[in-house]
Amino acid sequence: MHLSRLSTSRLLVSWCAALALLCAQAALAQTAAPAASAPNTVAAPAELAPYGANWQAKGSGVLRFFGFKAYDATLWLPGADAAFSFAKPFALDIRYATAIKGRDIANTSLIELQRISTSSPEQILAWSKWMEALFVDVKSGDQLVGVHLPGEGARFFINGKLLGETADTAFSEAFFKIWLDPKTKRPELRAALLSQAAEPRR
């Protein structure tokens, strides 16, 4: 059966429209889907106890890529003070929903540090080597907790066990800015973690 030129044109237009819709859906799927703030009944990771009392969940969010869930993230603050600041201790709690290689975690972090940090290329290279040695392969269900300690640096835990620590305060602030700086590539996730309205993507 032969199609008329008009029918062929209509099919082509329909196909292009469908392709454009699929592309738009794929782009949307890469954004971080905000979730409601974690309820106060959720227990803070036990490894946070030495760094403060009465840790409270400031907010939670979900990161997805092309519709697939990568991880849930929760920002924890100690005490009754709900105000977030890099001048105060806080913890970023990531619970993975898929397997990710440690080198991919390090490489992705490096790319974002290069984009956000004002530190020298030499300093960032040193951080890159440290992250490559720090991060391990993770699987679905694994929990990575990073603790920002002003004036002391950062400590990282995997499934409740100490993974590594650094006294480099500049690294600690730069690393957590990947999620919490206004220039983050995931403003929706940042807004969910801070329980704020999302800012336009930069």
pLDDT in tens, 119-144: 999 999 999 999 999 999 999 999 99
> Over the stretch 42-76, which tens digit does the pLDDT of each residue have?
789 999 999 988 999 999 999 998 889 999 999 99
CA distance 190 to 34: 9
Residue 106 has a pLDDT of 98
Residues 82 and 128 in one domain: yes
Decide if 202 is inside a domain: no
**Main-chain dihedrals φ then ψ at residue 78, nearest 5 degrees:** -85, 150
Same domain? For 36 and 50 the reply is yes
In this structure, the answer to whether residues 123 and 23 fall within a common structural domain is no
Find all residues with CB under 8 Å of 133, minimum gap 6, and list them: 164
Q: Quickly state the pLDDT bin for 81 (edges 50, 70, 90).
A: low
7 and 41 part of one domain: no
Predicted pLDDT at 35: 44
Outline where DSSP puts E strands in the chain. Answer: 32-34, 56-65, 68-77, 90-96, 143-149, 153-158, 161-166
Using only C-alpha atoms, the chain has a radius of gyration, in whole angstroms, of: 21
pLDDT recorded at residue 10: 40
Sign of the C-alpha dihedral, residues 127, 130, 131, 132? Answer: positive
This prediction's pTM:
0.78
Do 7 and 19 share a domain, yes or no?
A: yes
Which neighbouring-strand residues pair with 29?
Answer: none
Q: Which domain holds residue 187?
A: 31-194
Would residue 66 count as lying in a domain? yes
In a domain, 11, yes or no: yes
Least confident range from 31-45, 70-84, 108-122, 139-153: namely 31-45
What local confidence, expressed as pLDDT, does residue 58 receive?
95
Domain count, the chain: 2
Residue with more model confidence, 154 or 83: 154
179 has pLDDT over 80: yes
